[in-house]
């Protein structure tokens, strides 16, 4: 349930904040942004995220991505107000996850993916955490090539440069990339992706699950489904995927490809945080390299 009121002039929030006319409750502060709960005099609350330092296109990427995804489904959190340095969303009251909500989410996610994208990539700049992500749109690459060149190799280089990966590790990843077309399975037209769909970006509310904090772009639909199982798995993930498959049937062998889609978030984490994520990444790499030996 969101505690928002359509009569509130959300466009005035920057001025109200400036003059301290809203009650602000900090939620969390990260290097790139600060999140807070803003409460009006009538008790209505909203969620607000502000940038901590100017990065051209950083907040706009999230805003445009949310709006693009919400064209396909109300399971995507609504943008109440957006600017270059401020994003305002409804305040979401959280409840325990349920099987019914999970099945509904699966159907909604299928609807989002089915809406498609003109190309792989997006018309806005891409970011993953503190790092730039190449969203340059292209219709000339197959997904497997786009994934290798626009997602995996840039973060592989960063992970080697920061010492997270050794030369032997990099060679193993490159060996896998040499087989990426085979490992990626059937090529598909671009799906409309959330792009960062780990369980922390699924909020369970009385009105169903809502998806937040996307890295939206055109990509392969299996990426979102794979990431639901990353970092500990989303509650009722099997129900989400069963309902999804009923609505938008998956291609054979999708389970065997889950690790291929994990390569990007794992490389992003070695690039961002260093060697502590090296073991998980190389476990996935070794599994696929050995399978092809």
Residue 214's nearest CA partner among 191, 233, 195, 200 is 195
Q: Return per-residue pLDDT of the chain as tens, 293 residues.
A: 345 555 666 776 776 665 566 787 888 766 678 899 988 877 888 999 988 767 788 999 999 999 999 999 999 999 999 999 899 999 999 999 999 999 999 999 999 999 999 999 999 999 998 899 999 998 888 999 999 999 999 999 999 999 999 999 999 999 999 999 999 988 889 999 999 999 999 999 999 999 999 999 999 999 999 999 998 889 999 999 999 999 999 999 999 999 999 999 999 999 999 999 999 999 999 999 988 65
Cβ atoms within 10 Å of 89's Cβ, excluding its own: 22
Cβ atoms of residues 142 and 238 within 8 Å: no
Same domain, 74 and 153: no
Tokens of 139: 């219709």
Rounded to two decimals, what is the model's pTM?
0.91
Residue 226 makes CB contacts below 8 A (sequence gap 6+) with 257, 258, 259, 260, 261, 262
Same domain, 173 and 111: yes
Same domain, 141 and 260: yes
Domain assignment present for 277: yes
The tally of CA atoms less than 13 A away on the side-chain side of residue 72 is: 22
pLDDT at 8: 67
Cβ atoms of residues 226 and 257 within 8 Å: yes
Same domain, 116 and 37: no
| Angle at CA of residue 30, ends 25 and 36, nearest 5° | 15
Structural domain for 243, as ranges:
99-291
Tokens of 125: 């700049």
Cβ atoms of residues 34 and 52 within 8 Å: yes
Same domain, 110 and 80: no
Domain assignment present for 2: no
Ramachandran region, residue 195 (left: φ > 0; alpha: ψ -120 to 50; beta: rest): left
Same domain, 21 and 122: no
Last residue of a domain, one of 29, 64, 90: 90
In sequence order, the β-bridge partners of residue 132 are 127
* CATH code of 251's domain: 3.90.1200.10
Domain assignment present for 40: yes
Q: How many domains does the chain have?
A: 2
Domain assignment present for 1: no
Domain assignment present for 119: yes
Domain assignment present for 189: yes
């Amino acid at each position: 349930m969101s505690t928002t009121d359509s009569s509130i002039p959300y466009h005035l929030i920057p001025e109200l904040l400036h003059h301290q006319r809203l009650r602000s409750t900090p939620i969390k502060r990260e290097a790139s942004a600060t999140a807070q709960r803003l409460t009006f005099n009538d008790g209505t609350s909203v969620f607000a995220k502000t940038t901590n330092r100017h990065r051209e296109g950083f907040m706009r990427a999230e805003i445009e991505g949310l709006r693009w995804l919400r064209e396909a489904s109300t399971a995507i959190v609504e943008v109440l107000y957006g600017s270059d340095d401020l994003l305002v969303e409804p305040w979401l009251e959280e409840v325990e996850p349920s099987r019914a909500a999970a099945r509904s989410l699966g159907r909604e996610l299928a609807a989002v993916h089915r809406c498609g994208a003109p190309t792989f990539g997006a018309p806005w700049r891409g970011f993953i955490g503190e790092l730039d992500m190449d969203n340059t749109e292209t219709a000339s690459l197959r997904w497997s090539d786009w994934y290798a060149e626009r997602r995996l190799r840039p973060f592989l280089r960063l992970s080697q440069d920061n010492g997270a990966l050794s030369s032997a590790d990099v060679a193993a990843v490159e060996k896998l990339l040499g087989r990426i077309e085979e490992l990626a399975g059937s090529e598909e037209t671009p799906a409309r992706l959330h792009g960062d769909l780990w369980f922390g970006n699924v909020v369970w509310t009385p009105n169903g699950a809502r998806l937040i904090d996307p890295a939206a772009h055109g990509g392969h639909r299996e990426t979102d489904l794979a990431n639901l199982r990353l970092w500990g798995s989303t509650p009722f993930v099997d129900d989400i995927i069963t309902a999804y498959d009923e609505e938008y049937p998956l291609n054979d062998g999708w389970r065997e490809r889950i690790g291929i889609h994990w390569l990007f978030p794992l490389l992003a984490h070695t690039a961002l945080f260093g060697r502590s994520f090296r073991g998980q990444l190389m476990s996935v790499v070794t599994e696929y390299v050995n399978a092809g030996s």
